[in-house]
A and B are shown apart, each in its own frame.
Chain A
Amino acid sequence: MIRYTIIRTVWIFVILFTVISLNFTLLRLAPEYPPPAEEEREIYFERQVRDGLRTRTLVRDPDQMQLIRDREADLHKNAYWFDEGELIRLYEPVPIARQYIAWMGNILTEWNWGVSQSVQANVPVFDVLVSRIPVTMMLNLVALVFYIPIGFVLGILAALKKNSMADNAISLGVMIFISIPSFVVMSLLVLTFGYQLGWFPPQYPPGDIGGIIRLQAVFLPVLGLSFGAIAALTRTTRAELTEVLTSEFLLLARTKGLTRPQAVVRHAMRNSMVPLVPGIIFSFVGLLSGSVIIERIYSIPGTGRIFVNAMMQNDYSLVLGITAFYTIVGLFAVLLVDLSYGLVDPRIRMGAKK
């Protein structure tokens, strides 16, 4: 088991490292967009020099200065310069390999993820993230707590009453909600309950509004996040439970003299839950990345919305931070699932010893 755990953990870190490195390298290849305001730009470049991502050169040679002014000098495409009359301060990026080492070093030694470029200029990326994570996490956890019982109950109901009216109705509902994209569901929800009926606020209230509206505002995004998840959970629960219900050990339980409810609760349900747990862990990752679009529709100031903003404004430092956050959450869910599989099912961890 220890060996299995170590192998899985190391493997997850390999993937994490690969994804983040790949993302950094490729985003650095794109044109860079420093902060739009002049004074912020100076601070930004100084920070880049401090973080080891750029070099600062003072150019005093008049010929060289003229070349730079005429944009004829052989400069890096992401180079910037400030003209101060008698000298030019030239900020040039170091080669990407060295940038990468410096960047990794900053993260590992100081937990320094760099600064945002345009969304919140010169604010450390980690601070921006930390201010946005609570809302997103809160919504997703509420959605998780909300959808699991419903999905279970519907799935169990469908499996126990297989091929009945209820089962058919549930299966149809599952098919519908698993098919419709979440942004469509959310749009229709906001349209109906937010605007037409006015039961819930049509947008997430901004920071200074509190109280009952804030509580009400949780409802629609949670619903929007949950529909697909409920459908998926219902479907897997139904499939697993149906399979277990036809298995031989359940027949044995019945022949031993257990009543049907006893057999179902004590034997069938427990066994069918085992494969569902990993599904639920994965579903959290699904919810999290699905909330990007929900946050945009409902104007929720969470990580998803700031990701879209950062993409729109080419704030790649922030994009790097946010994607790293999503990658870490996603991969740790994978790790959790792998390990839980190993714990639950000995055949899997034996297989790893090959």
Chain B
Amino acid sequence: MSQKKKPAAEIQEQYETNIDIDKSEFEFVQQDDKIYDKKFETKPIGYFRDAMTRFAKNRTNVYATVILFTLIFLSIVVPMVTTKRYTGQEYEVRFLPPRVPIVERFGFLDGMERVRDQRVDRATIDPETGLGIPPSELFNPDFIQMDTLQNYTTSCQDRQDFCYGGQNILRFDDPEPDDDGMFSALLQSQAFFSVNPAQNPVLRVEIADLSEGSTLNLWMNTHLTPTDYDLVLAITEPGVYDIDFQDAFENLTFFSSLIQLELVSEDPEGSVSLDAIRLFHGDTDDEENIFQEDYGYDLSLYALIEGDANYHRRNGEILWAEFRFDRYQQVYGERLRRAFSANRYYALLEANEDLCVRTEHPDNPDLLYTFSEGCPVTRVLRQTEPVERDGELFYSYDIVVDYAIISGFDDLPYYFFGTDASGRDLFALSWLALRTSLFIGVTIAFINISIGIIYGAIEGYYGGRIDLLMERFAEIIGRIPWLVTLSIFVALLGAGVTTLMAILIFSGWIGISGITRTQFYRYKGREYVLASRTLGAKDSRLIFRHILPNAIGTIITASILSIPLVIFAESTISYLGFGIGHGVSFSVFGVEFSGVSIGVLLADGRTHMFARPYLTVFPAIIISILMITFNMFGNALRDAFNPSLRGVE
């Protein structure tokens, strides 16, 4: 008989009054019914199915899983199918910036490199724009995007030729006064100034600063006799001074002389700051007439030949260029190969027989042959003199090759992530590195799970004193800081993959043993275990046949998360340089790996972080995505298989 819920007070009242109900008022609920098995209206949902439903319910986790498996797939496939080189060294193609088809049209990842801090070759300065570019040996001007070209200056004090302009300062150190109580020091130019009266020579001296009470004397040897120097000019104030030789000297004949500058001062703190010394032929207003000039770097080369003083440079400027540069064009364009051995040359021609049609140039002394389009060799400049050795003639050619064709590309290649310091394709390399990381992660996690399960099973199954001892042992191992483990294994085994694996296994199993232990405590008291034990089953049978299969689902799903942890640790140790050595290939259980992991790639990229951030960014993004999706996948899997959440909507 169904009874509606009554308020508590009312029930209380009923009990207290102790109502008497007659027996005949009771009836059996199902006395006349026949009970049949009812068919379930819904389909039965099994354990896995339920887990899958719950797993699929969270869209984000599904996406994460799809991305994760795509990453794993790519890490296996990309190194297999790529046409680019990801081993060895090729100096020519190092540091190519990333270039991706389609995206490149939007001016992004288009293989253009922003080049900064390149010294400008002043000879290249364009009079119209006033902008200069670096020497063409380094950067072919054809491939510089001229509209992005910018020049800027920084100050410098070096006595270097790229340091431009500025003043040169002569200052006394600790001078001895002469008989008149004056201090002096003498400078002498490096170059001879040639004065030809026929060309109306004018010498201009620019003095930026001259301390009070000091005189700067300019001496020149005007007679063509070796030693005799004449005072040409005595300066007491800063300013620009012109010496018109024809006005200053009677009977001027041609002479060529060094310039000597003498600083004479009554003050031991005296100094002079020189801007420039220029020799004009003709009108001094026109810069075209400068015949010879010393300023900036040239002026700084003047030698101190007398007196205790120092001579140094100030306020110089370095001119730098910044521009976008098409390195692909430069790298894969035409390249001159000197002394290319005849054997290789003929082999190259033979391999491309149908493409290379030779044209001879008998009239041109600088060009032997040209070849048709599509041939790896575009021109042959000359054949070197043959050398005879052991009766055989050896000779070589100076040839110009098309680097794209000779590297096996029809067109400019696309390096999606660019190339690294050894000219390897970073794209293929990243996936290769990911594969290494994944493989190590999975292998180590497998080993750790196995050890953890066995250890935890023994602990949980036997319990008591054994459990206590083993727990203490695990605690000690778990409490050792990873720096200690690292130092011990690196010291004893040296850095390398063995060390890496030893470090990761050393304390990696503890978490899993803990999970297993709790699971064993949960199941070991169950009736079916007891039943099996009464039937005489041994411990091993109880552990492996009865308890473990029940617990294994929870243990495994919980341990999936140890894979990203291992990858995390692996990349960290490799990044520090104690894990996988760079480029040293190794094999793990018979599987060959080239020695790169994401940690290694990032460690390599660290040195080029400023100029070539892509070397850091791409591996960083890949490992970040891997870690994020792996964690989401692991969490989702754990939640989905969690028995306590079963059937929860």
A residues neighboring B (CB under 8 Å): 15, 18-19, 22-23, 26-27, 29-30, 172, 175-176, 178-184, 187-188, 190-191, 195-196, 202, 289, 292-293, 296-297, 307-308, 311-312, 314, 316, 319-320, 322-323, 326-327, 330-331, 334
Contact = CB atoms under 8 A, between A and B. Distances in A.
Nearest to B571: A181
Contacts of A190: 609
For the complex of A and B, 5 pairs with smallest distance between CB atoms: A179-B627, A30-B491, A179-B628, A323-B484, A180-B624
B297 interface: no
A191 B617 contact: yes
A187 B481 contact: no
B301 interface: no
A195 B578 contact: no
Nearest to A190: B609
Interface stretch (B96-104, B234-242, B472-480, B545-553): B472-480
29 contacts: A19-B479, A19-B484, A22-B484, A23-B488, A30-B492, A175-B631, A179-B627, A179-B628, A179-B631, A180-B623, A180-B627, A181-B571, A181-B627, A184-B623, A187-B606, A188-B616, A202-B609, A289-B482, A292-B576, A293-B576, A296-B576, A297-B606, A307-B483, A311-B487, A316-B491, A326-B481, A326-B484, A327-B484, A331-B479
A319 B487 contact: yes
Contact of A175 (B480, B602, B632): B632
B492 A196 contact: no
Given A19-B481, A182-B572, A307-B487, 19 more contacts: A15-B476, A19-B476, A22-B480, A23-B487, A26-B492, A27-B488, A178-B631, A179-B630, A180-B628, A181-B572, A181-B623, A187-B620, A190-B609, A191-B609, A191-B613, A292-B576, A316-B491, A322-B483, A331-B479
Contacts of A327: 480-481, 484
Interface in B550-587: 564, 568, 571-572, 575-578
A308 B576 contact: yes
Question: Does more than half of chain B's interface fall in helix, strand or loop, or is it mixed?
Answer: helix
B216 interface: no
Given A195-B610, A289-B482, A293-B575, A323 B487 contact: yes
Contacts of B613: 191, 195-196
Contacts of B487: 23, 27, 307, 311, 316, 319-320, 323
B93 interface: no
B349 interface: no
Interface string B325-365: 00000000000000000000000000000000000000000
Contacts of A323: 481, 483-484, 487
B426 interface: no
Nearest to B623: A184
Contacts of B575: 183, 293
A29 B475 CA distance: 25
A22 B568 CA distance: 26
Contact of B481 (A182, A196, A202, A330): A330
Nearest to A312: B577
A195 B610 CA distance: 6
A297 B605 CA distance: 11
Interface string B612-630: 0100110010011001101
Contacts of A297: 606
B600 interface: no
Interface of B: 60, 475-476, 479-484, 486-488, 490-492, 564, 568, 571-572, 575-578, 599, 602, 605-606, 609-610, 613, 616-617, 620, 623-624, 627-628, 630-632
A26 B572 contact: no
B244 to A, nearest CB: 52
B628 A311 contact: no
B39 to A, nearest CB: 37
A23 B484 contact: yes
Contacts of A29: 492
A195 to B, nearest CB: 5
Nearest to B493: A30
A184 B599 CA distance: 9
A48 to B, nearest CB: 18
A30 B494 CA distance: 10
Contacts of B571: 181, 183
Given A19-B484, A195-B610, A293-B576, A330 B479 contact: yes
A286 B154 CA distance: 44
Nearest to A290: B572
A299 to B, nearest CB: 10
A23 B630 CA distance: 34
A191 B609 CA distance: 6
A187 B607 CA distance: 11
A311 B486 contact: yes
A76 B400 CA distance: 62
Nearest to B480: A19
Contacts of A178: 631
A171 B600 CA distance: 30
B150 to A, nearest CB: 17
Contacts of A19: 476, 479-481, 484
B488 A191 contact: no
Contacts of B483: 289, 292, 307, 322-323, 326
Contacts of B578: 311
Contacts of A187: 602, 605-606, 609, 616, 620
A179 B479 CA distance: 23
B198 to A, nearest CB: 58
A27 B491 contact: yes
Contacts of B486: 311
Given A187-B602, A188-B617, A308-B576, A314 B491 contact: yes
A327 B628 CA distance: 30
A70 to B, nearest CB: 28
Given A15-B475, A202-B610, A307-B483, A183 B572 contact: yes
Nearest to A178: B631
B605 to A, nearest CB: 8
Contact of B488 (A26, A180, A195, A308): A26
Contacts of B631: 175, 178-179
Contacts of A292: 483, 576
Contacts of B481: 19, 289, 323, 326-327, 330
Given A30-B491, A196-B613, A334-B479, A183 B602 contact: yes
Contacts of A308: 576-577
A301 B599 CA distance: 22
A311 B484 contact: no
A47 to B, nearest CB: 21
Contacts of B480: 19, 22, 327
Nearest to B472: A11
Contacts of B623: 180-181, 184
A298 B610 CA distance: 13
Contacts of B60: 172
